[in-house]
Structures are given as structure tokens and as C-alpha cells.
């Protein structure tokens, strides 16, 4: 369950940038090819934020879909499969999008 | 869009809200930064670091014991051992004759770049060493965490399913080398080697798959040759001091 470590990194990333500031909302992007399960992050979030300035914050997660480019025929296509197979038959694809794992923004008390 | 306030939120939330502060921080940036620092340090000192990953029980420690005994006389070899608990594996590696440091991750399911950075001064590898990092036995979590390694070696044994590369794609798609271990057991288990190689190359096109037995010794000369080449490359790339 690497989502525990991931969630700790999220909280650390926020508190390092805005030390001591109470945070009411955290907006994340977790791509569908990132290998991180949003529900597992939600599960860990309350646990990890307890006693921090993020305690009680609303967690908002968007999940951008994936896209890949075939290294054989150069076709680009959307997919949510990590092991995507190009219509040309090649499995040799480069992931272009969907691996994001970012804290987009936070909302703090004005 | 939130119907009450027109903000970008897609879920219900309290109003009279505060100030939005854009951060745009990569969650793994801290680990990746530490990994890059590790990699630069290893490159400067001609140290080749190999990140060994597998499920528990694939034979990583047995492979390392034998590797240490076989290569230890010829190359400076040391080991970082990752496990949730105990120093059992470090004791085995130490008995085989290599410098070893055990990292216990407690509840953690993987090693990260910071743990490696902290263990390194304790391990104190000589310049030009081969450092094997035995990651925590787990086919999921270690895949996401760059340690600063030169290469990733994924080990599977024939007592596991040949379709594992498809089930654990994140692990196999970043493998630089795949070792199929325990091939001495092939007569006794239902394991399709060709299907496994196909699955591994579906995840990582063109990856080399070496068939080995860490107990009987099959294929290990090829593995040692691969390690020697990896070391030679990194030692050769170290700029001569003027």
C-alpha cells in the first residue's frame, strides 16, 4: 500500500510550502496510469492529516485519462491500460499522459 | 463546476470559501530529487547500484549470497538489504562475505531514495563498487520509487504465475533485466517459460530475460557477466581526475 507513503508526501509537499497555514481543501491530479489508487489515497488522507494544518480538509481528486504513442507506427491514442497495445499490434508504446501525480492547488482560509 | 459559487470544484463544499493557492507540485518530486542526487554521487564515484525487486520468496537473498561468494573476490561488492523487520537477510549476506546494511522499513512496503541516501554513509562502499539493493519483497510499491539506481532487476521464480508481468505492469515496465529463478524446479511445476517471456516483453519490449537457478547455479555466469558489463560502463564513464 504505497498510497500511505504517497499521501504522506502530499501532506509534506503542502506543509513545506505553506508552514502552519490551515488548509481547507486540497486538489490533486492522479492520472489513470500513475499506479496510484485515488480511493486508497482518500482512505489514508484523514489518517495522515490528523494533527496537521490539513486536518479536516476536503480532498478533491481529478483523474486524467492516459494517452500513449506507438514507437513502431507513431500513432497516438487514448487508453487507461498501462500495457496498451497499439492497433498495429505493437506493445512498444510510450506513455504520454496519465502518469500525473500532482498537488494542483490548495484552498486556505482567506 | 460548483453550482453555488462557480468554482471549479465538482463536489459539494462549504461556501464563504477561502483563497485558492496554486501549487502544481509533483508528489514524487522530493523522492525524485533525492534519487537524482544519489545517482550523481554514484556516477561520480563509479559505483554501480542495482535495484533488485520481486515478490517475497522469489530467491533474491539466495541469489545475492551466491553472487557475493562468486563475485566478491573479483569486485568490491556490498548490499543494502530492505525488509520490514529483522536482520535475518543481512546476517546471511554478511556470512557470505559482503559489507551489508539492513534497512528496516517497519510499516513501509518499499525503499525510497532518502533511505538509500541515509544508509550509504554507513555502508561506505569503495569507489568502483557494485551495490546490490535488495528492495522489500513486493511487486507493487517499489516500482514507483526511484532510488538513483543504475538499473532495475526484476526477479521472478517459476513457482509464481507466468502471467505476473501482465498483472503487475508497473513493476515490469521499468525492468532493465528480468531474472527467472528456480528453473531447477521446472520439471515439477506447471510454468510456461515462453508465455512468461512474452508477458515480460509485452510490459517491457525487448527486455533480456535470464533463466537462472540460484541454488543449482544454472545461468549465473550470464548474470555475473551482465553485472560486470554494468560496472565497467559506469567505471569507464567516470571522468579521469586531472
DSSP category for residue B5: T
Of A2, A35, A105, the CB nearest to B23: A105
Give pLDDT, residue B153.
98
Instruction: Check if the beta carbon of residue A6 is closer than 8 Å to that of residue A31.
Output: no
Asked, for residue A44, whether it belongs to a domain, the answer is yes
B212-234, pLDDT tens digit by residue? Answer: 999 999 999 999 999 999 999 98
Residues of A in contact with B173 (CB under 8 A): 82-83
Is the ipTM of this structure higher than 0.90?
Answer: no
Instruction: Check if the beta carbon of residue B107 is closer than 8 Å to that of residue A8.
Output: no
Scanning A3-32 for CB atoms below 8 A from B yields 4-6, 9-10, 12-14, 17-18, 24-25, 28
Give pLDDT, residue B242.
45
- The burial class, CB within 10 Å (0-12 / 13-18 / 19+), for A42 is middle
Asked, for residue A81, whether it belongs to a domain, the answer is no
Number of neighbours of residue B177 by Cβ within 10 angstroms = 20
* Longest CA span, chain B: 72
Question: Could B28 and A92 be called an inter-chain contact, meaning their C-beta atoms sit closer than 8 Å?
Answer: no
For B178, the 3-state DSSP assignment is strand
Q: How far apart are the first and last CA of chain B?
A: 62
Residue A101: pLDDT over 50: yes
φ/ψ of residue B86, rounded to 5: 75, 160
Mean pLDDT of B78-85: 92
A50-90, pLDDT tens digit by residue? Answer: 999 999 999 999 999 999 999 999 999 999 999 999 999 99
Q: B29-234 architecture in CATH?
A: 3-Layer(aba) Sandwich (3.40)
Asked, for residue A75, whether it belongs to a domain, the answer is no
Give pLDDT, residue B143.
93
B139-196, pLDDT tens digit by residue? Answer: 999 999 999 999 999 999 999 999 999 999 999 999 999 999 999 999 999 999 999 9
Give pLDDT, residue B109.
87
Residues of A in contact with B163 (CB under 8 A): none
B9-43, pLDDT tens digit by residue? Answer: 555 555 556 899 999 999 999 999 999 999 999 99
CA distance A71 to chain B (A): 11
pTM: 0.89
Nearest partner of A107 among B28, B2, B32, judged by Cα = B2
Grid coordinates standing for A76? 497516438
Spatial distance between the Cα atoms of A80 and B31, rounded to a whole number of angstroms: 25
Residue B4: pLDDT over 80: no
**What is the domain-level CATH number for residue A58?**
3.30.2320.50
Q: Provide the domain count of chain A.
A: 1
Nearest partner of B181 among B51, B66, B48, B86, judged by Cα = B66
Grid coordinates standing for B172? 515490469
Nearest residue on chain A to B171, alpha-carbon basis: A35
Question: Could A108 and B24 be called an inter-chain contact, meaning their C-beta atoms sit closer than 8 Å?
Answer: no
The CA distances from residue A96 to A82, A100, B181, in Å, are 11, 10, 33
Rounded to the nearest integer, the mean pLDDT of chain B is 91
Residue carrying C-alpha cell 481528486 = A61
Residue carrying C-alpha cell 511445476 = B189
Question: Could B21 and A18 be called an inter-chain contact, meaning their C-beta atoms sit closer than 8 Å?
Answer: yes
Residue B240: pLDDT over 70: no
Amino acid at each position: 500500500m504505497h498510497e500511505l507513503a504517497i499521501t504522506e508526501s502530499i501532506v509534506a509537499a503542502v506543509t513545506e510550502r505553506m508552514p502552519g497555514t490551515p488548509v481547507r481543501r486540497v486538489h490533486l491530479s492522479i492520472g489513470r496510469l500513475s499506479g496510484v489508487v485515488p480511493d486508497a489515497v482518500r482512505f489514508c488522507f484523514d489518517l495522515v492529516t490528523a494533527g496537521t494544518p490539513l486536518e479536516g480538509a476536503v480532498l478533491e481528486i481529478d483523474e486524467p485519462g492516459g494517452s500513449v504513442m506507438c514507437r513502431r507506427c507513431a500513432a497516438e491514442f487514448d487508453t487507461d491500460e498501462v500495457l496498451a497495445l497499439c492497433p498495429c499490434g505493437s506493445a512498444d508504446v510510450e506513455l504520454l499522459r496519465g502518469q500525473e501525480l500532482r498537488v494542483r492547488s490548495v484552498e486556505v482560509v482567506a | 463546476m460548483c453550482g453555488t459559487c462557480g468554482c471549479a470544484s465538482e463536489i459539494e463544499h462549504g461556501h464563504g470559501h477561502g483563497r485558492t493557492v496554486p501549487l502544481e507540485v509533483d508528489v514524487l518530486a522530493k523522492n525524485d530529487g533525492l534519487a537524482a542526487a544519489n545517482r550523481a554521487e554514484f556516477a561520480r564515484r563509479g559505483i554501480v547500484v542495482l535495484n533488485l525487486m520481486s515478490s517475497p520468496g522469489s530467491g533474491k537473498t539466495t541469489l545475492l549470497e551466491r553472487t557475493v561468494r562468486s563475485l566478491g573476490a573479483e569486485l568490491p561488492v556490498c548490499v543494502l538489504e530492505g525488509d520490514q523487520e529483522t536482520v535475518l537477510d543481512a546476517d546471511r549476506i554478511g556470512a557470505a562475505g559482503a559489507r551489508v546494511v539492513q534497512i528496516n522499513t517497519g510499516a513501509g512496503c518499499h525503499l525510497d531514495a532518502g533511505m538509500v541516501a541515509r544508509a550509504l554513509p554507513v555502508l561506505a562502499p569503495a569507489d568502483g563498487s557494485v551495490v546490490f539493493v535488495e528492495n522489500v519483497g513486493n511487486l507493487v510499491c517499489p516500482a514507483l520509487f526511484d532510488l538513483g539506481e543504475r538499473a532495475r532487476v526484476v526477479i521472478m521464480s517459476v513457482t509464481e504465475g507466468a502471467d505476473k508481468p501482465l498483472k503487475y505492469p508497473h513493476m515490469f515496465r521499468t525492468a532493465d533485466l528480468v531474472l527467472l529463478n528456480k528453473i531447477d524446479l521446472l520439471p515439477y511445476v506447471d510454468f510456461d517459460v515462453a508465455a512468461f517471456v512474452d508477458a515480460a516483453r509485452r510490459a517491457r519490449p525487448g527486455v533480456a530475460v535470464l533463466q537462472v537457478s540460484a541454488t543449482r547455479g544454472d545461468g549465473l555466469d550470464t548474470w555475473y557477466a551482465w553485472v560486470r558489463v554494468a560496472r565497467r560502463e559506469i567505471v569507464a564513464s567516470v571522468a579521469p581526475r586531472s
